[in-house]
Structure 1
Amino acid sequence: MSDDPGAEDGADDERWFVVGGRRWRRTDPALPDDLRAALTSHLGRGRSAVRVAKNRDDADAVSAARRRVGIAKHGLGERGPRWWDEPVADRIERARDALRQLADLDESGAD
Structure 2
Amino acid sequence: MDAPKTPDGRYLIVRGRLWRTTKPNLGEQERERLVHELMNARRAVKAAKANEDDKGVAAARRAVNSAKTALGERGPVWWTDGAKDFNRTLVKNTPYASWFFEQSQAPIR
Q: Same fold (TM over 0.5)?
A: yes
Task: Work out which of the residue numbers 28, 52, 59 in structure 2 matches 1:33.
Answer: 28
Structure 2: how far apart are the matches of 1:16 and 1:34?
A: 22
Query: 2:64 is matched by which residue type in structure 1?
Result: V
Q: Which has the higher helix share?
A: 1
Structure 2: how far apart are the matches of 1:46 and 1:56?
A: 15
* TM-score relative to the length of structure 1: 0.64
Q: Percent identity?
A: 45
Query: 2:19 is matched by which residue type in structure 1?
Result: W
Larger radius of gyration: 2
Structure 1 outlier segments of 4+, above 6 Å:
none
Task: Work out which of the residue numbers 80, 85, 92 in structure 2 matches 1:85.
Answer: 80
2:71 counterpart residue number? 76
- 1:29: how far off? 1.1
1:51 counterpart residue number? 46
Which ranges of structure 1 fall in alignment gaps of 5 or more residues? 1-6, 87-111
Which ranges of structure 2 fall in alignment gaps of 5 or more residues? 1-5, 82-109
Structure 2: how far apart are the matches of 1:56 and 1:23?
A: 33
2:14 counterpart residue number? 19
1:63 counterpart residue number? 58
Structure 1: how far apart are the matches of 2:80 and 2:18?
A: 18
- 1:19: how far off? 1.4
Structure 2: how far apart are the matches of 1:24 and 1:53?
A: 26
